[in-house]
Amino acid sequence: TSAQIGVTGLAVMGRNLARNFARNGYTVAVHNRTASRTHALVEEFGGEGDFVAAETAKEFVAALERPRRLVVMVKAGEPTDAVIQEFAPLLEPGDMIIDGGNAHFADTRRRERELREQGIHFVGTGISGGEEGALNGPSIMPGGSRESYESLGPMLEKISAKAADGAPCVTHVGPDGAGHFVKMVHNGIEYADMQLIGEAYQLLRDVAGYSPAEIADIFRTWNTGRLDSYLIEITAEVLSHVDAATGKPFVDVVQDRAEQKGTGRWTVQIALDLGVPVSGIAEAVFARSLSGHTGLREASRGLAGPKAAPLSPSEAGAFADRVEQALYASKIVSYTQGFHEIAAGSQEYGWDIDLGAVSAIWRGGCIIRAAFLDRIRAAYDARPDLPSLLADETFAQEIAAAQDDWREVLVAATRQGVPTPGFAAALAYYDALRAERLPAALTQGQRDFFGAHTYRRTDRDGSFHTLWGGDRSEVPA
């Protein structure tokens, strides 16, 4: 038997992906460092399709039809390099290694370059949707060569999620590390979405005075409108869950320290290198780290501040509507920032990424899937050179309609001492972009004062320096 595809690394994501291929009619070679896992998979799910269990790397490679398609589903970093080192010597030119983990795109670029010398296609592939998505249809973001996509694309299209219009949620994102880069930004946006939802929850709880169960219902209502998305949907589920042991709302018995595995942090690190202001995503990453500083929080608990006084029930409903506006406007801003980063990465690395295609494949399967993404796709389809999502007329109009409420929510949050770094960063970004003049002119003056760093004038070309320590006349620099 020769398998059309192989999966090595059979932890839950790898196992589910292998099953997904098998359920779609492909013969799948499966391999794991410890063979017991391989056999367990075939024993338990063998009925779902055709599996070939391979105990050794050699057996695994021999089981694959040529050109070989070998999906690696191990931990990002060191383990991925180890697997590549194990398999690459057994492969032949034209074969493909598909890395489906959350690799850093710089590692993917390096691996692609190294394996290319051997004639092997290395396809760094973002896969989103968690365990459930891997099994029933994830959103898939492959990079690597166009040639590899010709061989691989049809299979990925088959196992991927389908958007509401039936389109498969996979596209060839671009060469080498483009797929993992886009997956990284997806996760940054995921962090921002989660942070904004968290802030909305906190406001509804502390300012509006709703209970978690009531807030769950509000999120359920929002989920029928323009905020319709997977993250809003599961938020309602989490908020309505009651802890069996205590009878308390589940959200009240979980420690409020958010963890992270790194992709959101990478999004911000890379944005800093590219000079892209992803302030909303950055606040989301910082909010997670702040939450984890238990000692610092403990030491700060006595600091002065207003005590949140809940609104009357009659005011609460109107406030909830305002929060929806603030959440939606802030969400537009974080996607604007995320897409800006993808555009900048594409430019820097020569990837030629189609932003409309990226928004299209995020419509289904992935964690940030949302009705909203169809509208982003429409915006980029209408104007592929759109400089910013905020420049799209529809989004601009929606923010125009939302902005009064957005500001009111931030006023209330500030007055009552409820931290809303995501909402605030988004609004500051919006206002800074709209501003006629920014205090950057003053910054330039200061830089010129203390370091003769020079400045440009509004009325003449060239660089200038003022003789601050002397007669303060201006000289060309």
Residues in contact with ligand 6PG by CB under 6 A are 102, 128-130, 187, 190, 260-261, 263-264, 366-367
Q: Catalytic one among 75, 147, 158, 190?
A: 190
- Do residues 169 and 160 lie in contact, with contact meaning Cβ atoms separated by under 8 Å? yes
Burial class (CB in 10 A: 0-12, 13-18, 19+), 330: buried
**Closest distance between ligand 6PG and the C-beta of residue 11, in Å?**
13
- Do residues 442 and 434 lie in contact, with contact meaning Cβ atoms separated by under 8 Å? no
- Do residues 280 and 333 lie in contact, with contact meaning Cβ atoms separated by under 8 Å? yes
- Do residues 94 and 70 lie in contact, with contact meaning Cβ atoms separated by under 8 Å? no
Residue 3 in tokens: 């398998």
**Closest distance between ligand 6PG and the C-beta of residue 147, in Å?**
27
Burial class (CB in 10 A: 0-12, 13-18, 19+), 94: middle
What single-letter amino acid sits at 419? P
- Do residues 73 and 7 lie in contact, with contact meaning Cβ atoms separated by under 8 Å? yes
**Closest distance between ligand 6PG and the C-beta of residue 141, in Å?**
10
What single-letter amino acid sits at 346? S
Q: How far apart are CA 369 and CA 160, in angstroms?
A: 13
Please give the residue whose beta carbon sits closest to ligand 6PG in the complex: 128
Q: How far apart are CA 311 and CA 209, in angstroms?
A: 7
SS3 readout for 386-428: CCCHHHCHHHHHHHHHHHHHHHHHHHHHHHHCCCCHHHHHHHH
Burial class (CB in 10 A: 0-12, 13-18, 19+), 45: middle
Q: Catalytic one among 112, 183, 199, 331?
A: 183
Judged by beta carbon, residue 198 or residue 264, the one nearer ligand 6PG is 264
Q: How far apart are CA 43 and CA 49, in angstroms?
A: 12
Which residues fall within 8 angstroms of residue 329, CB to CB, at 6 or more apart?
398, 399, 402, 403, 406, 426, 427, 430
**Is 190 labeled as catalytic in the residue annotation?**
yes
What single-letter amino acid sits at 38? T
Residue 271 in tokens: 């944005």
Q: Which of 157, 311, 164 is nearest to 229 (CA)?
A: 164
User: Per-residue b/e over 198-235, b at no fewer than 16 CB within 10 Å?
Assistant: bbbbbbbbbbbbbebebbbebbbebbeeebebbbbbeb
Q: How far apart are CA 430 and CA 432, in angstroms?
A: 5
Residues that are catalytic: 183, 190
